Structure 1
Amino acid sequence: MASGIRKRLGGPIYAVADQCIYSASQLLLSFALARALSPSDFGIASAFLAIVSFQYILHTAVVHEPLLIKRHYADRSAAWWSWALVLAVSLAGFLAWQFTSFPGSLRWAGVALIVGYEIFWLFRSVLLVGRRYLVLCISGILISIGYVAVLIGLKPATWTQALLWIAVIQLPFALLIARTLKSVIAPLPAPADAQALTVKEAASYGWKASLSQLMSWIMTGGAILLLGSSADSVQGGLLKIYITFLLPMQYVLLALGYYILPKLAASWNSEGRRDAFHLFIKFVIFGFMVAEIGGVLLGLLGPYLVVLAFGKNYGGMDFSPFFYAPAIFGLTMCLRTGFRAAARPGALLWCSIFGALVFAACMLVAKPPISYIQTINAMTLGFACMAAMMIGWLFVIMRGPRAAAQVR
């Protein structure tokens, strides 16, 4: 019996452990950047990292989620073309922002950062499909050591040098991708009922899922980009710190959501859909409670933690939104898993558009100069409206007729 319990709990525990380590690596990156750079340079670096968060949306939608559902690519070329698509769109988005916000010479640090992060995320996606959590945990620890050693040890003088060093320490993961690529290629000869992932399926699912994630990015990374590119770039850094404190909760809920996603996707439109719904509802309630508890703790301890982690320059931050905002944010994170399991990226897109429109309306009526607190309040209301619409739509999906489960 003990071995059975260990088997049931072991997978989720290892998945959460990996995401906690990965979350810690991103937290250490923010801490090290804030201490190594001036507040103004930190705000600009945060704007560049917001571009990377946009890239992560594309990677998750086109590569990570479809691969978790199907488990294999149809062939090696399907993998390369899917990955190249993410990289090409990410670079195009970066160049568009580069020439509008930073006219003049091309900031090669941004290009290097995008390539480096895509290599690192591909490595993580391939290993997560195979549930090789030990290797993932070790890689997370190594990348954390690299961030601290480079940014604190070498003390880059400018944000450009800092971003280049961040990119460099992620390049070695390309070798590990080459060694593990065969684990996500459909074995030959393929079983008769095999449904391996093709480029067309990845792109079809990906454009809807990425657009829905883009709506959320507008309220988070996009807001950091907006404030970091403004005359008062310090506000962008303050918003970056706020969102950084949300990362641990986000990654824990993502880990649990992705862990149960294959099971939910297989059962959502089958005879076992009732059990799938029960599991999903338990996950949503659990995630909401964890987010609220974490938010209250951050609201109480935040003023002390921010000085400890980021330095005295940020000691005057207002942490009152943490008492309610993380719970709403966590709720939307959990509800997304239901749409993914039901293969309804289109429905998720409409819910996300509604939340983004509410956020945009709040920002338009806000009195300039726009502060990070105004942005946080607008972001919270946008996510609350999104969550309300998601709950209503999921209720319709649950009560509706069964459909064939597929990535579309």
Structure 2
Amino acid sequence: MKPYKVLVVDDSAFMRKIISDLIENDADFQVTATAKNGREAIEKINELRPDLVTMDVEMPEMNGLEALKIIMASDPLPVIMLSGINEEGMKETILALEWGAFDFIRKPSITNSQDIMGVGESLREQMKEAMMAREQREARASAFKLPDIPPVEVAPPTVPRVMPGKPKVEPKASLKNEVTKKPRVKQLLDHTDPKRAAKPLIPTPPSLSEKSNARSRVENNATPPKPLPKPKVEVSSDAPANPQVRKYGSNDLQKLVAVGCSTGGPRALKVFLEKIPADFPAPIVIVQHMPPNFTKSLAQRLNTFSPLEVIEAEQGMILQKGTAYIAPGGYHLQVVPSSRGQYAVVLTKEEARNGHRPSVDVLFESLLPLTSLERHLLLMTGMGSDGARMMKSLYDSGVTSTFAESEETCVVYGMPRSAVELQCVQHVLPLQEIAPRLVQAVK
């Protein structure tokens, strides 16, 4: 098999070299070209037809976000964003994921060889998943194609003779030849077809004088359970906490929704949370695999779309109805009973589980003893199997309902597939149908 062709885009020649070397450590990938900004990237995509692009977020002339919009509006292909850790870079990375980027990695520290190697491993894993996801979509689309059906030949009708002295009989109208057309198979979240047409894939970007520099910016803005043994977790003393935002609401919390997602999750969470009403009678606790600091930008962005209040979870927060809590990157999130029949957030720095911190399995596991709550679980798009094992445990113990995103809308059908294979999912639904069905189940 020929190696997949990769285009590396970064304004730093040194970083282009580092990323190229990390990619070519895997013989399945070959860097066919590099570009120093978004404008040059679009030109080279048209010329070289790469299979995949790594795209720096912040670049002069045309940044990665502007280039991504043009790529996704024309002939989409997998794009992995490289993001800095400054606030603006994180906000734009969240936008990039929302607008169709496959995933992102943070830029490595050029002074730390171990960090460079770690970023390289993550990048190669994402690239393999991107190619696998594309091939699965293409295979699925091919399986649904119907064979061409030739036009039906209809013989011309016989015109009766007109007999003398008899009224004229009008011939029946001839049937028009009807051609059965192949249905157009909609490929949700599709990336590029490797056999592209010769025409330019992406329109040439406008000149600088015509280009708008406007950037999208994120708007900032029950019965108490039986006594349980103290959770055997060591609470991190440096976990993010802000006592001023802790709320002590009613003690009649009877329902809880727990959500897990990874690759493709920010876009899926947007679609999901947009359709949850403000009077939703349960808190929603979310684990999205993401590095530290990015989860805060994600929560702020999602809060601008959702009728719910969407926040990054903090140590000791009391869970409230109508609020969605996103686990902060770098911390496991657990739900534990609190005083007066309430339930609180506990953040820990325990070892990563399934390669992740936060881990969906850790969140789901904390719900096992909370039998007085109606617990509703959801797994959406993501690599790997995080969350599936504990969803199975909760399902076997009598959890209220379990949901998984169906393959047709997943960016990567990993985590949901693992749960489906364990036969612990009651509702397998395309992304657009999950929220309405969940609301129905909870209410």
Relative to the length of structure 2, the TM-score reads: 0.22
Higher relative helix content? 1
Identify, as 1 or 2, the structure richer in strand.
2
Larger Rg: 2
Name which structure has the greater RCO, CA cutoff 8 Å, separation 6+: 1
Q: TM-score, normalised by structure 1?
A: 0.24
